[in-house]
Amino acid sequence: MNQNAYDASIPVLTEVVTDPGAVAEPATPAPEPVAERLERRATERWTGEEWSVLERRVTERVLQQLQGRVDFVLEQRVRDAMADAMQRTLETFTADLRDGLNEALGDIVGQAVSQEIAHLQTLGR
């Protein structure tokens, strides 16, 4: 093989590697985010009254948002508490009703048996 052969499609080392002494161009700084730009401008230019207005508006919005959430959570907790209370009440009521019915049924059966015995005694005389 001929080692002196030159293939133009293969780049030479000086074409691939950049000059180590060359200084890279500084990257352009990223633009300042909108929120930071607005905040900086507000702190530089707003008066105390404007800050008070902003504070009042933000407070009102936060309270409105929280009120909706508080209402939802409160309603859910009341429902849960009511469901628990109703379940306990129903269980107690059912147990009391069962006991009352058992007692009443015992009394009715006892009276019916007594009457039947009395009737049979009168027939046997």
Residue type, 2: N
| Residue 15: pLDDT band with limits 50, 70, 90 | low
Higher pLDDT, 72 or 22: 72
| Residue-wise pLDDT tens digits, 35-67 | 888 888 888 888 889 889 999 999 999 999 899
Mean pLDDT of the chain: 84
Q: Where are the beta strands (DSSP E) in 54-117?
A: none
2: DSSP letter: -
| Cα(65)–Cα(61) distance, integer angstroms | 6
**What percent of the chain clears pLDDT 70, i.e. is strictly above it?**
78
- Give the per-residue pLDDT at 45: 87
Phi, psi of 116 (to 5 degrees): -65, -40
Q: Where are the domains of the chain?
A: 35-124
